Structure 1
Amino acid sequence: MPALAYQSRSDEPPPRIPQAHSQQGARVAGSSRPSLYLRLDNEPARFLISDLLTELETYLPPEQISEVYRAYLFGAEAHQGQERQSGEPYIYHPIAVARILAEMRMDYKGLMAAILHDVIEDTPTAKEHLADVFGDDVAELVDGVSKLTQIDFPSRAEAQAASFRKMMLAMTRDIRVILIKLADRLHNMRTLDAMMPAKRRRISRETLEIYAPIANRLGINRIRLDLEDLGFRHHWPWRHAVLSRTVGDKLQGRSETVAKVEATLRARLDAEGIAAEVFGREKHLYSIYRKMTAKRRSFDDMVDVFGFRVIVDRVDTCYRVLGQVHDLYKPVPGRFKDYIAIPKSNGYQSLHTGLIGPQGVPIEIQIRTADMNRLAESGIAAHWMYKSNGEASGPQAAAKDWLQGLLEVQRDSGDSQEFLEHVKVDLYPDEVYVFTPKGRILVLPMGATVVDFAYAIHSDVGNTCVATRIDRRLASLRTPLRSGQTVEIITAPGAKPNAAWLNFVVTGKARASIRSYLKNLQNREAEALGQRMLSAELAAFGLTLEQVGEARILAHALESGLEDGERLFAEIGLGNRMPMLIARRLAGPSEPVPGGEFLVNTGAPEAGDADRRGARRLAIRGTEGMVVHFARCCRPIPGDPITGLFSAGKGIVVHRNECGNLGDFHSKRDKWLEVEWAEDPLAEFQTEIRVDVGNRRGALATLASAIAEQGSNIENVNSRDKDGMTTTLDFLVNVTGRKHLAGIMRRLRQIPGVTRIVRLSNAGRSREVYSKH
């Protein structure tokens, strides 16, 4: 071991490596078990502290290496007696994780946290103790990587989602958290053979769905490729083996072609005086497999399974090389991508071009500078964003924007599983590049719509967008965007998100923002409705909300486990609490208590129908929002006798009195609510009518025109032949009430060929309104 690794503080004796972790103890003594570890940089995997310290000598000062060694001694003692599934002492794993990070040139505090990353989770060591011994920075990093083990969750999925959310939020404060986690996951994947097959598949799926995309999002290509290949190998071992063997055979058969292309490229660049590194590379196995499954192609159709990389000194040289390779080989139309002028969202820069090589073999060539190549391999790890005092650029700026977006998604997500769902959406790499009117480039996932674009600019822009211009032409908000388009968002101060947007938005930020707005909107609407419902019930006792008073309402809310009176109103509006029971308790005798509040005497008998004869009916206006729903089975409209039913979490569901589905609730009078239509409803309501018409050309157009003449909009229409001579058309139309509907039906009755008109209800049962026979 290097002498500098043993330098100690003046008040401490020289540290000693425990015998269990010496050179001889690095491998399982006397074991015939084959090595479970993959190679690092084509060398045998080693988990010795001496190897780690030797690596650290290349870039850290002695005093910092001593701190790393001190963390190792603490970790070795904390994990004493613990073993991994493979049988090795547990401390080998943290050393291996730190070794991976050392190759990325991680700073010493990050390395200390890597060595200690499991002590909070797997040993009795507390975070506070770590902070006392190693400082707050190291303790926070270790805590950020640790899973939530102190809380009991209903399911494994919820526990994993909560731990992931905790880790991602810690990452927004310090990017080193996710780098340690990625290194931890990479070593776990390298040693996954020790696990049972079911657990291997579960961990591999999680790696492919979450951790490899995170590495890609941060531009850490080296770790991403390893995670993907290992995840592929463990999740689909037979597919991996077959594809690996097939790719090897194909590359071996074309080795002469690869060598010829390399030699030709070098000769041309040397002749032009361009200093460059040229080397061939085989395609990434998992990317081949993913392309085969996505495009439903066999391996024989995947002709471009190897490519070439050219590394030069400057950006302008990249374009010179591009001209030379296009002069040597014919470019394939549509296969050129300039990621130098427009980098990927993770900061990746390179020129990609597809060519027809010797003997008609398709090849791909990537051209980049040495700095671009380093950033492509290490991404955010190439320069530490948390050290930067100036403006972030490249991968650092991209990561900063992404982390800021994560904070907004976290703020708008309801729970950990919803947060995980939103993050997953943003992790997949296919992208489109679109411009704002001022020329700013926004990178969005493939399939993103105008609404996604609006939320990418700012949440307030998304919440108030009403229209758009794409390349100066008006377009729908649900239009999928294509690279190169210029998008202008038109907003209106009174506009608000539409629940239907959730059917087509694809970004996590847009989805989380819309859901958050609608959830808050529903709570506000529920609160207003709850006040009206409680007022109507209090009228039976000759009381108003003002007479009851805020103090008594607050006392009842607190007694019910709610934080305030507003929450009590919202619970009533959402159908979670019965307003007639709350009204009786509020109307009962009360006793003053210290502080001016009231304790309500609940000894009064339960309210029955006779007690509620004085209650006012709740007037339905149609503008109550998401807490009043109109049953689709009978589709009530103003003028119909109606009844309201409580639905927990939704509010009130309004049915027609004659609806057959009310039969199930006859014995549950506590679920009923006395409702009536307001004198002047302010909304339009949907109802269905069925029209039988002679099977002739233009019949549908004639009927639709007649409905439009009566001031109604057709939401949907279904048609089917009835007997070969008659067509049955079902229209879903918007009306203001029964009078409006009657006018529409009278107009349809006048059309030649119409033989029968009915209004539909109860999922197909109908009441005949007009027939000519």
Structure 2
Amino acid sequence: PKGDLLKFPKGATILDFAYHIHSKVGNQCVGGKINAKNVSLRTELHSGDTVEILTSATQKPKAEWLKIVKSSRAKAKIRLALKETQIKDGLYAKELLERRFKNKKIEIEESTMGHLLRKLGFKEVSEFYKQVADEKLDPNYIIEEYQKVYNHDHNLNQPKETESAENFEFENPTNEFLKKNDDVLVIDKNLKGLDFSLAKCCHPIYGDPVFGFVTVNGGIKIHRTDCPNAPEMRKRFGYRIVKARWSGKGFSQYAITLRVIGNDDIGIVSNITNVISKDEKIVMRSINIDSHDGLFSGNLVVLLDDNSKLNMLIKKLRTVKGVKQVTRI
């Protein structure tokens, strides 16, 4: 209030002043002016100061504000605002996920969702919903991970203990091994000239850290060291693991699939393809985009010759406005 004299505890800040005026003013406070000079939320008040509060309709209370304010009145109002925001975020995120799951004709099981939350590192469901509401977690990604957890929990597509190591090769049995006359790979103790093929479960390319897996036919399947199936292979069939490293480029190009997720903005697909077309050494083989509820997700298949170009491409795609996630499949 203009011209009023107010008392605050020692160390009180602009934010204390804002909440003293009104909860809405405090919740939307972005800073202020003390004696006509712009100051931040954290600026402390002093006796005789003339204070003006600056607000923005897009501002929201944050948990760290509790460390800025000194008055119990301001702290109580912040806690209340955070609780209200948490409830609103939870309802919004829950409704959004239920709608997305329903569109995919997937029924949500509480036990599976609980396992998913633990897998993603969430101790509280409220924090999970907050990440969804803040668009830090993509619903399509959640659905994909949910299905993985569901399959695991219900023992779907899981190898039995009696199954052989060939279940971990993940390729069509008719797939022929590739003759390496140019010795692009050195397999275990500098052995060269061995027949090998690149595993389809992780699609290694030149430059990736790799290892070999000996098949019953005596050939070698090459996997990336971060292959999703590597831990199980090492655990159950460690005796069939051999060291491998690249020694030169034998292939001109490798096919790599990238998963891209983002806002379904006008021209977003064109902007993505432009990034790829600008690099003469990268060829786009195919693109498959699906959009829904203002978001898009899709797979890009590109041809390139090593992982340094792949990493650079991913970095560039992530800078495209509207793109939220770019991951290698």
TM-score bracket relative to the smaller structure: 0.3 to 0.5
Q: TM-score, normalized by length of structure 2?
A: 0.40
**Larger C-alpha radius of gyration, 1 or 2?**
1
Structure showing greater relative contact order (alpha-carbon pairs closer than 8 Å, 6 or more residues apart): 2
Q: TM-score, normalized by length of structure 1?
A: 0.18
Report which of the two has the higher share of helix.
Answer: 1
